[in-house]
């Protein structure tokens, strides 16, 4: 049997789509590590940062070095926006944001083609997966595309306009996933904009929480303007909705937010998260932040640091601004020196360390529910509903949900099973 290897870069949407392809590949081929020699290599690309582009180049080179005669497929966002890029000269199959349901058939037929449509079809690509055999939690892609066009972002060009999956079809897939997974993460390019013409995100969540066997539903990322009072009320009343919201802010200075084309002010953002915390006091609110955006002077960065402290996020994903050709920000004046960006990243990283500890400390000597993801050296590891990574004393079944008493919150969070659950 021929062997294949897969490398997934980028977001949870890429992970979901790769899992669909993996299910079909496993019907015909044997999967091995990307570090091993294989007959077929599949690389799911990302275009959000320049680092992701560099990694794509590296992995294509590594695959060809390991097996000069291998069949190499490059799939996803970078393939979509730069199909003529020199990095793809050495691939056999190029797939953009569509035709992922054709990948395995093309490989079986040994087709060597580029299937990148410049105009992305406005219909949601219906991919159905049954389980994530290598993960405790499952992803469910409910939405694709973005209409927001933030000035720094290339994703609307890579993924096309907003489109959503049919709610009945998604609920069917969620039921299937719940047979093997106690937690499902809803994901999309702009998840909060889910709307199939009949159901919006609230109504989809309202039906998903009724699925038998499903213990936790988590939203992967959602904009502050899309968290409705109905969603907060449902989260407040139904324990299946994880008390964690990842809400990208990108900057906490109004001048930069306006230049980024973000649809809120710092005050509006802070007021909204204050309301959410008023309704759900223990909720984890995390965020994405871009530092070193064009024109960000020292005063603007100080504003961001002060407001980050006020916001008291549970953690911050920090990105130095990455210049992307074709975006509005690329043509702006005042691009920041890389050394300054690096220093600012360092400052936010230290603040993030402090904020993480402050949030986690509130759970000391309290119980949280942890989904066990791995076991190593007589201890188990997993994330709580609040997305706190916990080392749990003892070996517990992978995929099980355990009630854990938190004993220590230092460099890592450590606890013991207080009551075995499901």
Distance CA 314, CA 232 (A): 18
Same domain, 148 and 47: no
Domain presence at residue 91: yes
Asked whether residue 77 is domain-assigned, the answer is: yes
Residues 150 and 222 occupy one common structural domain: yes
Task: Specify whether 103 is located in the same domain as 142.
Answer: no
For residue 50, the tally of other CB atoms under 10 A from its CB is 12
Arithmetic mean of pLDDT, 163-192:
97
Render pLDDT for 242-254 as a digit per residue (tens, 0 to 9): 999 999 999 999 9
Are 38 and 71 in a shared domain? yes
Beta pairing, strands 413-420 & 401-409: antiparallel
Please indicate, yes or no, whether residues 102 and 143 belong to a single structural domain of this protein: no
Q: Does residue 62 belong to any structural domain of this protein? A: yes
What are 135's two structure tokens?
A: 């993960």
As a whole number, the mean pLDDT across the chain is 95
User: Given 242, 266, 283, which residue is the final one in a domain?
Assistant: 242
More confident residue, 190 or 121: 190
- For residue 210, is pLDDT > 90? yes
**What's residue 341's pLDDT?**
97
pLDDT of residue 252: 98
pLDDT the model gives residue 118? 79
What pLDDT, on a 0 to 100 scale, did the predictor assign at position 374?
Answer: 94
Mean pLDDT of the 335-349 span: 97
- Average pLDDT, integer, range 193-205: 98
66 domain residue, yes or no? yes
Find the mean pLDDT for residues 35-45: 97
pLDDT digits (tens, 9 = 90+) for 82-139: 998 888 998 999 999 999 999 999 999 999 998 898 788 888 999 999 998 878 999 9
Residue span of the structural domain in which 92 resides: 3-115
Do 77 and 145 lie in one domain? The reply is no
Looking at the fold, whether 56 and 108 belong to one and the same domain comes out as yes
Give yes or no for residue 422 having a pLDDT over 70.
no
| 195 is a domain residue | yes
**For residue 421, what pLDDT is reported?**
59
- pLDDT grade, residue 2 (50/70/90)? very high
Quick one: 103 and 140 in the same domain? no
Confidence band for 73, pLDDT divided at 50, 70 and 90: very high
Over 90: is that where the pLDDT of 393 sits? yes
CATH number at residue 151: 3.30.750.210
Residue 420's pLDDT band, with cuts at 50, 70 and 90, is low
Among 86-90, 118-122, 188-192, 233-237, the range scoring the smallest mean pLDDT is: 118-122
| Residue 164 in domain | yes
> 77 and 9, same structural domain?
yes
Residues 143 and 48 placed together within one structural domain of the fold = no
Domain boundary among 242, 257, 281: 242
My answer on whether 142 and 102 are in the same domain is no
pLDDT tens column, 285-309: 999 999 999 999 999 999 999 999 9
| Contact by Cβ (8 Å): 259, 293 | yes
Specify the range with the lowest mean pLDDT, choosing from 74-78, 83-87, 346-350.
Answer: 83-87
For the chain, the domain total comes to 3
Q: Is residue 107 part of a domain?
A: yes
The CATH number of the domain holding residue 31 is 3.40.50.12160
Q: Residue 275: what pLDDT?
A: 98
Shared domain for 150 and 229, answered yes or no, is yes
Question: With contact defined as beta carbons under 8 Å apart, do 93 and 73 qualify?
Answer: yes
Exposed, middle or buried, 29 (CB in 10 Å: 0-12/13-18/19+)? Answer: buried
CA proximity to 76, closest of 158, 7, 5: 158
Q: Is the pLDDT of residue 315 over 60?
A: yes
Q: If you average pLDDT over residues 33-54, what whole number do you get?
A: 93
**Which among 242, 274, 308 is the end of a domain?**
242
Rounded to two decimals, what is the model's pTM? 0.93
pLDDT at 234 over 80: yes
CATH number (domain holding residue 391): 2.40.50.140
Does residue 407 fall inside a structural domain?
yes
């Amino acid at each position: 049997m021929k062997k294949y290897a897969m490398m997934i870069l980028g977001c949870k949407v890429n992970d979901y789509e790769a899992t669909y392809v993996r299910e079909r590949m496993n019907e015909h081929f044997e999967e091995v590590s990307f570090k091993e020699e294989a007959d077929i290599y599949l690389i799911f690309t990302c275009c959000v940062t320049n680092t992701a582009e560099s990694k794509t180049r590296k992995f294509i080179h590594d695959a060809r070095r390991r097996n000069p005669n291998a069949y190499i497929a490059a799939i996803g966002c970078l393939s979509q926006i730069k199909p003529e890029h020199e990095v793809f000269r050495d691939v056999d199959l190029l797939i953009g944001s569509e035709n992922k349901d054709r990948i395995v058939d093309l490989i079986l037929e040994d087709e060597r083609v580029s299937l990148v449509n410049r105009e992305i079809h406005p219909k949601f690509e219906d991919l159905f997966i049954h389980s994530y055999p290598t993960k405790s939690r499952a992803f469910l892609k409910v939405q694709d595309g973005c209409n927001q066009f933030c000035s720094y972002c290339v994703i609307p060009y890579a993924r096309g306009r907003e489109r959503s999956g049919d709610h009945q079809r998604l609920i069917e897939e969620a039921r299937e996933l719940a047979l093997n997974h106690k937690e499902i993460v809803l994901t999309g390019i702009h998840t909060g904009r889910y709307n199939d013409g009949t159901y919006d995100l609230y109504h989809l969540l309202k039906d998903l929480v009724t699925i038998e066997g499903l213990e936790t539903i988590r939203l992967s990322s959602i904009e502050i303007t899309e968290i409705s009072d109905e969603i907060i009320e449902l989260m407040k009343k139904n324990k299946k909705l994880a008390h964690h919201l990842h809400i990208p802010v990108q900057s906490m200075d109004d001048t930069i937010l306006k230049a980024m084309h973000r649809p809120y002010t710092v005050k509006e953002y802070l007021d909204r998260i204050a309301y959410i915390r008023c309704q759900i006091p223990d909720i984890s609110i995390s965020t994405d932040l871009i530092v070193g955006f064009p024109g960000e002077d020292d005063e603007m960065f100080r504003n961001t640091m002060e407001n980050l402290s006020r916001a008291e996020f549970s953690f911050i994903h920090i990105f130095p601004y990455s210049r992307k050709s074709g975006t509005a920000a690329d043509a702006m004046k005042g691009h920041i020196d890389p050394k300054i960006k690096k220093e600012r990243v360092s400052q936010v990283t230290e603040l993030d360390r402090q904020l993480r500890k402050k949030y986690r400390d509130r759970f000391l000597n309290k119980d949280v529910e942890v989904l066990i993801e791995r076991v190593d050296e007589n201890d188990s590891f997993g994330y709580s509903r609040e997305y706190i990574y916990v080392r749990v004393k003892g070996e517990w079944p992978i995929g099980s949900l355990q009630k854990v008493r938190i004993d220590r919150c230092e460099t890592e969070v450590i606890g013991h099973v207080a009551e075995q659950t499901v």
